[in-house]
Structure 1
């Protein structure tokens, strides 16, 4: 049987192991809970926390095993620590040349399966391993491997904490030894306190007179040396409210040591109310006859440590609840190896079963063909160039064949000493939204198509009526017919606009460009509303001639839409003002009203397709939420911009700005 090779820095590794003072110590519940949890997670009867000593492996915690140690030559863990960054997993030791004739395999223990995560401390020394053992062949899944690594980190955390506790305990014992020196000479005591790297103070008498305090304690109090000789209550009224004198008097009277860990305190510090966490202790100082002559006050400021831990715990809990409530999937990709880790929800969205392994390649293969290459290249670019990732794409489920639309967002998290860089993020199901958008597009297309036929007929009838009115010399009827014909033309243009919604979404729109004066659009709108909207107070303020190169009808469509909205969302007697000004190299048209206004939360989305403000004021106002979207697309295709400024209850200013033409008006234009 080949023995495990020693590690390259064996002497340093053994020194690191012994620095924890863990060998041959009694069992501890914290460690036993971890081995019990490891056994349950990995479905193995045995789980061990093993430390590899010079000639043996010793078990700090053993779940399902009575043996406390074995010879190092027989140790599986001695092999594991030679690859401190990897899990050593032996599916069948009876077929593994390293272990097939090992007494632990051939003997009563009958080890067949072994998996061990090296226990690597903060210095990089592999102390031993957290391992699980079974007498039958076994294989860990990705979740079990991940959980075993997490538990191993918990073992190291507990070791480090235990080490720090021992160090603190040793420090406390050292402080007690110093107290013995203080009994002889108070002057020597004050010198020791002054040079101790811990906040310390000396109190004497029932009133806890401050005999001395070092600079660290004075800084913690927010005081200076003027408090020396003062009673605690008079010198520190801020802390007196926290009842410290009562506790110190109990220590003084009974001669019993008192301490608190991570005690929360809120008090005035240099004139400001601040929050602190302290590990503090009150130690009675006794004479040779056992009587107490003073109290040593020691304190360690752990505010930053505690607040950081609380912040991390709170952030983790909030993130967990947010992900759970939003039914988000989570995922991560190793930036070097592209190893892919996915939550159960992510697996579900890709059509995998919860206990199935899912690789990056298998996930990409479920993306529909039209998006697959783009997603793959975008991920690679995001990792290489440290960019954010936000994409919507379609997936065909592996097992259920179901088509789902998802939105994936992610970012790159830099590597550190313990792990490689990770590209990770979330995945959300947007299938319903995509289906709603498709249904809306289909509905608009269907309705618009059905409107074409009656409109064509109506235009024919109006043409006949107009011709007869001209023959009869009936000027009013001819004029009304002409205006009605114009409205029918505009309605037909609107219907065409509805039919173009899908193409607009794809970035396609047709413009019949010509050079015209923006005032012509203003006059046409004024003529329109002078007949169709008698009840509104509408004021048009024309500007100097400003030439535009664009589609006049569509520009008029935008203005009329803005005015109609201003009237629709105003009070019983709408007041609307339309102005035109020159703004740099652009013509700026603004429609102002004194209507109900728009909530600030809705303004960023007001020009989005199918978006409607939902509140009690607009509940009875009809609309599809596409008018402003079409207006935005028309103006942007002219190279311009749209916007709105609004305040609820005071009204709104909708505006559009389009570039001025560098060409003169074509006299032969329509």
Structure 2
């Protein structure tokens, strides 16, 4: 019972294949150069003595082309080619048939032929039927490389193209036979068609008509009498009267030899009759005046209606109908293009008829060469043209087009195709989707992570996918003719079987996870969905899709055990912990969050309420933007500061980590958040910033030069405006200098020694006098005071500079003056005192009475000498003082 659908399906495919094969009418045909060229090329490429194009029926294989052997057919039984068209692989290769159980005892191997090596590729038509093979054969074992296999594939495609070409030719031949019959019928109809005739004797205005002329308009000749140009005028459709009159007058005035036109006449019943009207002056008077005019009328009403209908049809076909004309020299053009051109090509019919390069320029480069070749081939043998290609539409899309055309050769060797092109983009996309879907389904079944099985209501297996080896450690063939209950844990069998029975009333059921015995003896937890496809003849069973969820079960058990632990951990957190769904509604909050913000919600019931209720209005937009970033990059943590209301009326500043979590399908499912109160920290940081700002002002606005330098590199890190003005360097120049560069070279050793002493003395050091050099080269004497500090993460020193150059010079002047005073005092105490003492002593001697006159004169002389000496000393002191002042 289970094999019947498969048997019926195989017969169906077989009959379809044979029908396709017989339709080609290739069996028992004579050799053809096209096929022989391909087999010769295949043998050459593969370096084999034999190559065949084999057409396989149900009883024999006919060699349409046989290179290297003379036979034209063999029995199909045990043939290599019969295997080739049945195997699903692209190639069927037997490297050494003597070692292959299928062929080693056959006459092909052990007989005179001794076919040892075989490589064949099925010839599959576009309908999916394998009609035969292209194969190469050798009398010794061998292998083919990848390039040879690719070449065989290309040649096989060429054979299939020859099949399609033959099929098209047969179709065209049949169409031609039909067209010939139709042409004969049309000729008979045309021969039997009656034409209306008329004659107009112009001088007498007498008109003669035949019966057919009157009949076209629904009259008899008697009803139209008396006939004259005036009575005929009444039968002409008013809007066509002027045009017809102009054509007749052109003939009467010898401006035209004849006239031809399509004009409307009025039928007796009131409707319009389209007439193909032809006339000319057939007789003239001797003086050159028109005498007799004659012509014919043909009823073309039906033709006109048909043209209108055809125009309506072609203009409403979802594609373009046109005539393509190609001249012998290669020039081509489009004619009679329908309105569908605009939708198909993006250009109007008028545009493409004027310049068909608008279309050619938009053909896909990959398809253009093959497309032109199909036109060339059709022109050569006048075969029915058909092709598919890609077209770059002006709207930016790439579309698939498919065209058909029937060629006709004109006498001047010009070829025309009456053609139609359709947009098959949707069809192509669907074909690609189906192809991808089929490949994906096959890949999922054979290589996926799921186990696919088919069994009956008793649990007997009909099919097990190859993934059983990977999932259960058991090859799929070991399940054949076994029952699923043999592998299910005893405690789970009853539940499993009950679920199967429920499928008699339901289409699909999810079976509760059960344990299934692994090949290594362990039990694996399986999750299974079963669908009832007993009524589907192609399946005929219950289809189960199973997954190994053992690891998930173990994980779930671990999660259950750890859930209580983590919940307790969250509840004991001093930080806020919460989760929301994708709409912002709380799904979890910890105890800390409830204590702080539960007062915002009735009865402190927070879950289910929206999180925006606990956020200050001015931070709503910022919060929503952060959530949007989380959703765009799931798993990435985003930080955000949010102000929240406090129960005591204050505003709390909180810092949060937001992260978006995805569900098992990879879709964002919730936002997890962890936050803490940073209100006090923000206040401290604010106070620190204000303090830093105040100190920055003190630094920058100080009237004394200040600068900061790096203790490691001695590079300037910052200078104030006073330093820039005092030293003459710009801020940028300072930033590229070290503190050594504002000192003369003679001061460097002293500076290095000072740095060393400053480090030894500690944080704050008065370092005395130093010499600095300004940008203009002038040297100044400064006092500096240094403090240690951390500046932008670096160990640095801040230096206060006092310029004492003037004070230093003043002190030097005072010291010099003091030195002079010391010299004067010394002079006073030593040089002045000696003559003064002598004068004073001699004055005392003058007071003595016993002093003689001579002695007195001598004393006076000595007094005068001492006084003169004293005067010289005083004069020297005065001179010395005046010189210093100068």
- Please confirm whether the aligned pair reaches a TM-score higher than 0.5, indicating the same fold: no
What TM-score does the superposition give when structure 2 sets the normalisation length? 0.33
- Which structure has more relative contact order (CA 8 Å, sep 6+)? It is 1
Q: Which has the larger radius of gyration?
A: 2
What TM-score does the superposition give when structure 1 sets the normalisation length? 0.42
